[in-house]
A = this chain, B = another copy of it.
């Protein structure tokens, strides 16, 4: 599935982490539910399953699929690593990089962004602070994701708890990179969190436990998509 990253439509990307609720067959099931909400609401949605699940999700569900990480290497003698080629061959549209649970070296972010581009994979580079989101934007990824690590998984939304991190990051990022798509995440659990973040300048979302661990993921993702549509209406 392809995605025009230059569009201004909000993107809602659900990171499956290694949650048991989103492993194996459950990864396909959850991806399908998310895709259905995306279809119904017209909001662009994506999922980032575990490596072993990328292929089946991409094959069975009409949804954007991102790997959670790739290693900065060309094919070769690299046992136990994740080549961008393997992720591409499995049908992924792109990959996350430098998530706070899988931080990598500066030079490796750059190499992986460059290799991904050569292979036609989109990149979402995560960073946790204002300075570092701007810094990674200079490495020319397709998207950056602002995620203050101290809020990840807390249910305390970055857009409410640390609105300045979003506005300051957006301003600093734009000073150095006018086109990179800006996602945000950490603690987001309601449509209101989404709406507020869009108002602050976010253009998309990287969300994990807020959806995956919710008692009713469909209700949550619907809430998110409706908030995104409400914002799009408003800003016309």
User: Which A residues are within 8 Å of any B CB, using their own CB?
Assistant: 15, 17-20, 23-25, 48, 50-56, 67-69, 73, 75-83, 85-87, 89-90, 96, 98-110, 127-129, 131-132, 134-136, 138-140, 152-153, 172, 175-176, 208-209
Contacts and interface: CB of A to CB of B under 8 A. Distances in A.
Contacts of A153: 77
A100 B79 CA distance: 8
B79 A107 contact: no
A131 B138 contact: yes
A32 to B, nearest CB: 17
B132 A23 contact: no
Contact of A87 (B52, B96, B103, B134): B52
B101 A129 contact: no
Contacts of A19: 75-77
A107 B233 CA distance: 37
The oligomer's copy count stands at 4
A89 B52 contact: yes
Given A23-B86, A103-B107, A135-B106, A79 B140 contact: no
Contact of A51 (B52, B85, B99, B108): B52
Contacts of A54: 52
Given A128-B107, A132-B110, A18 B51 contact: no
B138 A90 contact: no
Contacts of A55: 52-53, 55-56
A140 B132 CA distance: 10
Contact of A18 (B86, B136, B209): B86
The 7 closest A-B pairs by CB, nearest first: A24-B89, A80-B102, A69-B80, A51-B51, A20-B75, A52-B90, A18-B83
Contacts of A139: 131-132, 135
A82 B208 contact: no
Contact of A101 (B78, B105, B106): B78
